[in-house]
Amino acid sequence: MNELFLILAVVLLLNTTVGLVRILSGPHPADRMLAAEMFSTSAVVIMLLLAFATDRPPLVDVALVFALLSALAVVTFVSRAWSALKPTTDTDDHDGGNR
């Protein structure tokens, strides 16, 4: 059983790391943010799987803190976007304004 959960944790970590390519490729800041969001969900799951695979109940608390704070990053990102809102910018790759 523990091996199963560890295998799943490795699979998920690999999966998420591959997904992080979206941070590189963008093109819009929202896409990069999505990659971070995906990582934070996966981090919750990996933490839970680790908690059960290695039999450490305190890790469930760490996962709880992850879950609680996952909204914070998105909301900050969105507030940053609204504070510097400039329409008709498709990408942050080529113009200097949105970096």
Partner 1 sequence: MTVVGVIGAALVVAGVPFFLFGTLGLLRLPDTYSRLHALAKGDNVGLGLVCLGLGLQSGSVLVTLKLLMIWVLMLIASATGAGLIARTALARGVKPHGL
Partner 2 sequence: MDWLAHTFDGLLGLALLWLAWQAMHAPGLFRSVVSYMVFGLVMALIWVRLEAPDIALAEAAIGAGATGALLLSALARLKDGSDAGRLHWRHPAELVFWLPFAAVTALVLGLTAWQLPAPGLGVDVARTLGQSGVDNPVTAVLLNFRSFDTLLEIGVLLVGVVAIWSLGPAPSPIVPKMPSPALPALGRALFPVFVLAATYLLWRGSHAPGGAFQAGAVMGAGGILMVLAGARPWLTGEEQGPWRWLLSLGLVAMLAVAVAMAALAGTFFAYPPALAAPLILALEISAALSIALLMFAVYLCGRPPDHWEAED
Restricted to residues 30-69, the positions that interact with partner 1 (CB under 8 A) are 30-31, 33-35, 37-38, 41-42, 44-45, 48-49, 52, 57, 60-61, 63-64, 67-68
CA distances for 64 relative to 17, 41, 54, 95, angstroms: 22, 11, 17, 39
Q: Does 6 bind partner 1 (CB under 8 A)?
A: no
- Judged by CB under 8 A, which of 4, 54, 56, 93 binds partner 1? 4
Q: Does 97 bind partner 2 (CB under 8 A)?
A: yes
Is the preceding omega at residue 87 within 30 degrees of 0, hence cis? no
Using the structure block, give the residue that is written with the tokens 């510097």: 84
